[in-house]
Structure 1
Amino acid sequence: MKNLARSKLVIRKIRRSDLQKGFLESLDSLRTASNISRGRADAILKKIASNPDHVIFVAEKDGMIVGSTTLIIEQKFIHNGGKVGHIEDVVVAKQMQGLGIGEKIIRSALMYAKSKGCYKTILDCDRKVKPFYEKIGFKAHSYGMRFDH
């Protein structure tokens, strides 16, 4: 029974201990993050955790972080002071892709955004993963732009 419980996938908010359980390494699929010093990683997480509208969700399996996403909630003046969720940095460890983990992470973030009063949640993605997000219910809406500093 204990082994069965250990193999269960858990989606939850990030904890400091996750920095040592594969979180930074999982981000390497997007851009190298595992080379950040422990002190710098702790400082970044402390700053993120100080903002209740900036949440990182992780997927934990067998004591390791195998995926994550970030949700940032933006307060607006328009829409009668409505809120918009912004999903960023969706990642699942390469060896765990195709098992439904990404969808579970996104659905958790969407439920959280709704519970916090967001009237919509948006994200930018590469064309090759567009079908993944459409399967969850996202619709193409606008053209993304970027300015690099």
Structure 2
Amino acid sequence: MTEVSLFESDLLSPEVQSLLPPGYTLRALRSNDYERGFLKVLEVLTEVGNHSRQEFDEQFNYLKKHNHQYHTITITEDAKNQVVAVGTILVERKFVHKNGLVGHIEDIAVNGNQQGKKLGLRIIQALKYIGAKRGCYKVILDCSEKNVPFYQKCGFTQKEVEMAWYVPEVKARL
């Protein structure tokens, strides 16, 4: 089966690629990244669940069909053919700012044994580049208080307050 990329490589920053350690590659999520440990890397963030290959493919195909909106990237360690860092920018269409676009950065994760190589910084830089190339007037993200200094080093400024409402697992019956 031919491997498919989520989006075209012209949205990837050549500068970020040049700043990666030797033997690491920045690229769009690929259809065979299930086997390369993509979901395992996401487990450093939160519960991911046990996806079957079919469930991964269904999600990948949905994102591919909407690749003007969803841009998930990876950094791979080439010698091991493994995904070691991931991130996504979701491009939202707005009415404000004359039908402007806003980039939402989500799901930044770096494999625990790859810490200290600036891979998280490179993922953020690459996602900001995609946001700019897609025409976003701003790129935003939510993070925990402990990660504020990291994102400030990435060029973000703290603004406003994040709020969340989690849908109860047991929904009320009508």
> What TM-score range do you get, normalising by the shorter chain?
over 0.9
In structure 2, distance between residues paired with 1:31 and 1:76: 29
SS in 2 for 1:17: coil
TM-score (norm 1): 0.92
User: Which structure 1 residue ranges, 5 or more long, are not aligned?
Assistant: 1-6
In structure 2, distance between residues paired with 1:56 and 1:31: 17
SS in 2 for 1:114: helix
Alignment size in residue pairs? 144
In structure 1, distance between residues paired with 2:26 and 2:144: 24
In structure 2, distance between residues paired with 1:99 and 1:35: 29
- Residues 1:45 and 2:60 aligned together: yes
In structure 1, distance between residues paired with 2:76 and 2:65: 22
State the match for 1:9 in structure 2: 24
State the match for 2:114 in structure 1: 96
Amino acid aligned to 1:99: K
Note the aligned Cα RMSD (angstroms): 1.4
State the match for 1:22 in structure 2: 37
Question: Which runs of structure 2 are paired with 1:62-81 in the superposition (5 Å)?
Answer: 62=78, 63-81=81-99
Query: If you compute each CA radius of gyration, which structure gives the higher value, 1 or 2?
Result: 2
Question: Percent of aligned pairs with the same residue?
Answer: 34
TM-score (norm 2): 0.79
Q: Does structure 2 conserve the Cα–Cα contact (< 8 Å) formed by 1:26 and 1:91? A: yes
User: Which structure 2 residue ranges, 5 or more long, are not aligned?
Assistant: 1-21, 168-174
- Give 4+ residue runs of structure 1 displaced > 6 Å after superposition: none
Q: Does structure 2 conserve the Cα–Cα contact (< 8 Å) formed by 1:60 and 1:66? A: yes
In terms of fraction of residues, the more helix-rich structure is: 1
SS in 1 for 2:129: helix
